[in-house]
Amino acid sequence: MHDGAMKYIDEFRDGELARRLARTIAAEADPAREYRLMEFCGGHTHAIYRYGVQDLMPANLRFVHGPGCPVCVLPISRIDQAIAMAVEHGVTLCTYGDLMRVPASERMSLLKSKAGGADIRMIYSTQDALAIARAKAGRQVVLFAIGFETTTPPTAVALKVARAEGLGNFSVFCNHVLTPPALKTILSSAGPDGVQLDGILGPSHVSTIIGSRPYDFVPAAFGKPVVIAGFEPLDVMQSTLMLIRQINQRCCSVENQYTRAVTRDGNRKAQALMAEVFAPRDSFEWRGLGHLPHSALRIADAYADLDAELRFPVVPGQGKEIKGCECPSVLRGVMEPTDCKLFGTVCTPENPMGACMVSSEGACAAYWSYGRFRKPKPAAEAAVA
Amino acid sequence: MGAPDRSRPRYAGQLDLRHGAVDMSHGSGGRAMAQLIDELFRRHLGNALLAQGNDQALFRPPAGRLAVSTDGHVISPLFFPGGDIGCLAVHGTINDVVMCGAQPLYLAAGFILEEGLPLAELARIVESMAAACNDARVPVITGDTKVVERGKGDGCFITTTGVGVVADGIDISGDRARPGDAILVSGSIGDHGVAILSQRENLGFETEIRSDTAALHDLVAAMIEAVPEIHCLRDPTRGGLASTLNELAQQSGVGMQIREQAIPVRPEVAAACELLGLDPLNVANEGKLIAICPAKHAQRLLAVMRAHPKARDAAIIGEVFEDPLHFVQMETAFGGNRIVDWLAGEQLPRIC
């Protein structure tokens, strides 16, 4: 992009700095061992592939993709439930774009339901859903809310605004999930049969909300280092170097590379807002990880009148996985996208069988779109050039 | 139309272009339709062939091979920074015709109007079409108008068909890219898509970016005159540069390697894409082309393009190589390498 700099962005994508960092990483990585680093977030997965970060890494360093893709971990049954709300209750369902193409049971999807006549709208923010509700006083409007701690505060604000304005036709189908329980599940299953990990690249945006403190259990209980990493490719590389240094020194602690946005305690105001509007669920199903205790949020009793699950009850679906789809294993980091028999044969971004192929943050989509074929590049050239 | 046409009926009053709206009678085949055609379409688009007044236009084809292309335009909104559906319907079809090296001759236009469309808006659209035709020196020589009930259309859809002629000796086709060829683009990418996005009511961001909508036949003529050996030309509209390069790679059975740093992208477009999570490589253009030619002619072609007002920012962005898998790859500004894939799904509906 030669037409001028994009202020505050290009600084984090500087090729010269990247090559310097790559040289340092190559020099400090111990050739006698392997480094298996899990990037928890799909945002990191995307950055690694989009900018070709893996090309700049030594051959003995591997990024293992984590479950931090909100679209990917949403169980099929919840999409079935959303479709049922739109079809059986005739509500206007507002959803983020990525969810539209996620396969539901019986080869359905929100996109197909929309084509079949259901009123399903693609929105860019919770404010769009509120605007639709205001404009359509006679219709019930449901916000299909998903995501980790990052997207939870905006949903909380939407609920508070709806309450304040007395928007009787607005409600929220809440699917917000929590990062630490998922991380704990991954680490608990690590071992000879599960995923093998040497360190964790911690979430960026999630950590701006929750802070770095909630990750303390990772070194304490599992003896693994965590580096909270920004989403820009240089952030990923610098955090990788910080992890390598911890691993080499056989120490483990929570370090924060993303200091320009993340503090130890996070955003207290957002946390208070979440605590007011949401309450923890006893258990919630995660695609690939199963039912995890205290891993998700429901709408708090004080706001129960705005809870779409209560307002539009539907019979919970089976949530049938497509046969052969290995999304669950990919999400746990135990399989690479290419290990799945469906990858690139019947499952592509045009015709996704599993959610990991839909979202740009999904490991399969990132791998397919940016990395399914690389020109063989000598490792030495890649690392030292 | 010029002087009053006595073969046409006289109407009780003139079309109310200030407050009037399209109604079902404007598509009925009766007097109201005739009046709409006379006072709007003929008045602005008039030319000798259209004035024949028959259900078809008759002309003698010139020597050479004829090139024909058709394109439906359903863009929303109808008016956007830098253009509207009227001029877009002219530019889009002319560009499709000329990407084989043709000189465009004529256009045919089919209008599908929705009941309730303000006549003032229709007049703006037709005037804009007429201006685009005049600038391009390519007249609309036959047309059709239909009206659908309110709610069954979205204001106005326009289908245009273009016909052009290709001189003998010119052989430009999507299957002719060869290993070693250079890949050029005529200017900054993504302007049209971002301009349209900025107008969508649910996005609410403001930008100075204007659509690049433009007819490229003069540019193409200059390019062919300088480098008759051009192998491929294509305009990267829907799906953007990424999809168009993939189409050409597939069609020619080759691979491509491009360099991110060589691709012109305006900072405003890059910033908007960053904000919206889009890749400029996937965003639509309406006044840009991709050219592929033997490497030894690339500098000459680049010089000719840069000397033309519609390709001042032209750049050589990569080269064709042999690859049985027909991948398009890109060296990122960051120093890594990645695939540039087709656009999956629908990034932005109703972009043209």
Q: How far is A37 from A66, CA to CA, in rounded Å?
A: 10
- Average pLDDT score over residue span A243-259: 96
Q: Say if residue B187 is in the same domain as residue B99.
A: no
Element holding A290 (H helix, E strand) = strand A290-293
Sign of CA dihedral B258, B260, B262, B268: positive
Domain annotation covers residue B171: no
- Average pLDDT score over residue span A310-320: 84
The CATH number for B42's domain is 3.30.1330.10
Q: Which residues of A touch B344 (CB under 8 A)?
A: 348-350, 365, 369
- Average pLDDT score over residue span A246-268: 95
The more confident residue out of B316 and B28 is B316
Domain annotation covers residue B67: yes
Strands (E), B282-326: 290-293, 315-321
A9 and B336: CB-CB below 8 Å? no
Residue B333 contacts A where some CB pair is shorter than 8 Å = yes
Of B131, B166, B201, which marks where a domain is finished? B166
Which residues in A have their CB inside 8 Å of a CB on B?
A: 1-6, 9, 13, 15, 18-19, 22, 49-56, 100-101, 123-124, 128, 131, 233, 348-350, 360, 365, 368-375, 377, 385
Q: Say if residue B145 is in the same domain as residue B32.
A: yes
pLDDT in tens, A33-72: 999 999 999 899 988 988 889 889 999 999 998 888 888 8
Domain annotation covers residue B12: no
Q: Which of B94, B123, B103 is nearest to B111 (CA)?
A: B123
Q: How confident is the model at residue B7 (pLDDT cuts 50, 70, 90)?
A: low
Closest residue to B339, CB basis, from A56, A124, A369: A369
pLDDT in tens, A151-202: 999 999 999 999 999 999 999 999 999 999 999 998 998 777 678 899 999 9
Please give the pLDDT value at position A121: 94
Q: How far is B182 from B8, CA to CA, in rounded Å?
A: 56
Domain annotation covers residue B187: yes
Give yes or no for a cis peptide into B77 (omega within 30° of 0).
Answer: yes
Q: How confident is the model at residue A7 (pLDDT cuts 50, 70, 90)?
A: low
Q: Say if residue B193 is in the same domain as residue B327.
A: yes
Q: Say if residue B131 is in the same domain as residue B102.
A: yes
Write down the CATH number for the domain with range A22-322.
Answer: 3.40.50.11740
For chain A, give every domain's residue range: 22-322, 327-371
Tell me the DSSP string of B90-134.
Answer: HHHHHHHHHTTTPEEEEEEEEEEEETT-BHHHHHHHHHHHHHHHH
Please give the pLDDT value at position A336: 86
Q: How far is A375 from A385, CA to CA, in rounded Å?
A: 16
Distance of CA B98 to the CA centre of its chain: 11
Please give the pLDDT value at position A382: 39
Q: Say if residue B38 is in the same domain as residue B142.
A: yes
Sign of CA dihedral B113, B115, B117, B118: positive
Of B166, B193, B223, which marks where a domain is finished? B166
pLDDT in tens, B256-305: 999 999 999 999 999 888 888 788 999 999 999 999 999 999 999 999 99
In the predicted structure, residue A4 carries a pLDDT above the cut 60? no
Q: Say if residue B215 is in the same domain as residue B313.
A: yes
Report the mean per-residue pLDDT for chain B. Answer: 92
What is the value of pTM for the model shown? 0.82
Q: Which domain holds residue B36?
A: 24-166
As given in the structure block, the two tokens for residue B7 are 């073969």
Is this complex's ipTM strictly greater than 0.90? no
Of A31-45, A328-342, B3-17, B60-74, the one with minimum mean pLDDT is B3-17
pLDDT in tens, B179-202: 999 999 999 999 999 999 888 756
Domain annotation covers residue B130: yes
Domain annotation covers residue B350: no
Domain annotation covers residue B124: yes
Closest chain A CA to residue B326: A373
Q: Which of B175, B75, B50 is nearest to B125 (CA)?
A: B75
Q: Which residues of A touch B264 (CB under 8 A)?
A: 1-3
Q: How many structural domains is chain B composed of?
A: 2
Please say whether the beta carbons of B157 and B252 come within 8 A: no
In the predicted structure, residue A383 carries a pLDDT above the cut 70? no
Closest residue to B188, CB basis, from A3, A360, A369: A3
Q: How far is B233 from B221, CA to CA, in rounded Å?
A: 12
Q: Say if residue B316 is in the same domain as residue B205.
A: yes
**Which residues are registered as beta bridge partners of A226?**
A200, A254
pLDDT in tens, A284-302: 999 888 899 999 999 999 9
Write down the residue that tokens 């050589």 correspond to: B316
Helix extents (H) in B2-103: 31-36, 43-45, 85-98
Window 33-92 of B: residues touching A by CB (8 A cutoff) are: none
Domain annotation covers residue B1: no
The CATH number for B294's domain is 3.90.650.10
What is the SS3 assignment for A327? helix
Q: How confident is the model at residue A8 (pLDDT cuts 50, 70, 90)?
A: low
In the predicted structure, residue A334 carries a pLDDT above the cut 90? no
Write down the residue that tokens 């860019």 correspond to: A124
Q: Say if residue B210 is in the same domain as residue B275.
A: yes
As given in the structure block, the two tokens for residue A205 are 């945006």
Q: How far is A333 from A66, CA to CA, in rounded Å?
A: 6
**Tell me, what DSSP letter sits at residue A296?**
B
Q: How far is B170 from B131, CA to CA, in rounded Å?
A: 30
Element holding A291 (H helix, E strand) = strand A290-293
Q: Say if residue B155 is in the same domain as residue B186.
A: no
Of B114, B142, B166, which marks where a domain is finished? B166
Q: Say if residue B224 is in the same domain as residue B331.
A: yes
Q: Say if residue B191 is in the same domain as residue B329.
A: yes
Q: Say if residue B256 is in the same domain as residue B306.
A: yes
Q: How confident is the model at residue A384 (pLDDT cuts 50, 70, 90)?
A: very low
Q: Which residues of B touch A233 (CB under 8 A)?
A: 334
Rounded to the nearest angstrom, the minimum Cα separation between B215 and chain A is: 23
Q: Which of B73, B310, B86 is nearest to B215 (CA)?
A: B310
Q: Which residues of A touch B325 (CB under 8 A)?
A: 373
